[in-house]
Amino acid sequence: MSISSLTNPGFIKKLETLALLSKKVLGGELKADRKTNKKGSGTTFADYAEYSFGDDYRNIDWNIYARLENMVIKLFELEEDIRIFILLDISPSMNKKLPQAKKIAAALSYIALNHLDHLTIYGISDQLKTIVKPSHGRNRIFPMLETLEAVECEGHDTNFSESLKTFYMRHRRPGICVVISDFFVPDGYSRTLDHLMWNRHDVYCIQLQHPDEQQCIIRGDIEFKCIESGATKRVTVGPREAARYAVAMEQWNRELQQNCAKQGIGLATASTEVPFEEIIRHILLRGGLVT
């Protein structure tokens, strides 16, 4: 039996190196400075409150009582588990990009589980598909990698709207949502990402591009078939049409950048030719999954 590319020792070693880097630059979290507004008996001081009968006497600030004869207790920020959701585009348009997308998802998931965050991985195509159920702890790393390795493209289209509507109906509690996709979305992505933001999720997008998609090198009378919908169309491709294609691709990418910047969504764009570890390292050194 052959060894899976996501579980062979060389790949695992790269994941371990990235996990150590994440711990060094982010204190072990995928996103820096993520704190809850709730107050309780955590470890980081947040505020004072008047002492009431039944409060924990160990939180009384006796220095203030000695100076002001006013009994107050210290409030601390609660330590909350971070919930990380990887939303992986597995629609047919991702066929050439899926191996790279799975490596990126594996790296982020490894870091999350290694630092005891809660992880869930979903696939996005014409509907939402659960790939890895809610998981927690280092003992879930290898099952996650084995499950992710088996993922293939499926479905007939990229229905972001319905897929993510299902997602935020399931997950009311805010978390970190990482969307890995080419963002070739017929029904648009802007409103869908907006909905995630409205539900108080922190959103980060990783756009993958294949070199074959950036320029049109085909010439002549061609019948094109949409890889997702199956629709066909006969066109004549010459230098003029190829130039218009390049302009349209550039505009599409620019609009994605502008939309993410406007919404306060972090975005990383990378070619499938770039080693996955360089992409993750770049994200970490920028400060994690932030804008």
CA distances for 204 relative to 181, 197, 263, 276, angstroms: 11, 10, 11, 17
Instruction: Write down the mean pLDDT value for the chain.
Output: 83
CB 146 within 8 A of CB 4: yes
Q: Is residue 212 in a domain? A: yes
Together in a domain, 43 and 24? no
Q: Is residue 142 part of a domain?
A: yes
**Do residues 93 and 204 both lie within one domain?**
yes
Same-domain pairing of 62 and 169: no
> Residues 57, 143: one domain?
no
Q: Work out how many domains the chain is built from and give that number.
A: 2
Q: Would 2 be classed as within a structural domain? A: no
Write down the pTM of the prediction: 0.79
For residue 128, give Cα distances in angstroms to 120, 136, 143, 149.
12, 21, 21, 18
Could you list the beta-strand ranges (E) of the chain.
39-40, 44-50, 72-77, 83-89, 118-124, 128-136, 176-181, 202-209, 220-225, 232-237, 266-271
Q: Are residues 55 and 25 in the same domain?
A: no
| 262 in the same domain as 150 | yes
- pLDDT for position 218: 82
Q: Which residue has the higher pLDDT, 260 or 223?
A: 260
pLDDT at 212 exceeding the cut of 50: yes
pLDDT digits (tens, 9 = 90+) for 230-242: 778 888 888 888 8
Sheet holding 128-136, edge to edge: 128-136, 118-124, 83-89, 176-181, 202-209, 266-271
Residue 100 has pLDDT above 60, yes or no: yes
Q: What is the average pLDDT across 15-24?
A: 90
| Structural domain span for residue 254 | 9-31+82-285
In a domain, 3, yes or no: no
Q: Please name the residues in contact with 93: beta carbons below 8 A apart, sequence gap of 6 or more.
A: 158, 182, 184, 227, 228
- Residues 6+ away with beta carbon under 8 Å from 120: 83, 84, 85, 86, 130, 132, 133, 134, 135
Q: Among the residues of 127-174, which ranges form H helices?
A: 141-149, 160-170
Are 195 and 64 part of one and the same domain? no
Are residues 117 and 21 part of one domain?
A: yes
| 229 — pLDDT class (breaks 50, 70, 90) | low
CATH of the domain at 100: 3.40.50.410
Q: How far apart are CA 49 and CA 71, in angstroms?
A: 9
Q: Lowest mean pLDDT: which of 33-42, 85-94, 188-197, 243-252? A: 33-42
50 shares its domain with 153: no
183 and 225 in a single domain? The answer is yes
Confidence bin at 180 (pLDDT 50/70/90):
very high
116 and 217 share a domain? yes
Residue-level pLDDT at 107: 97
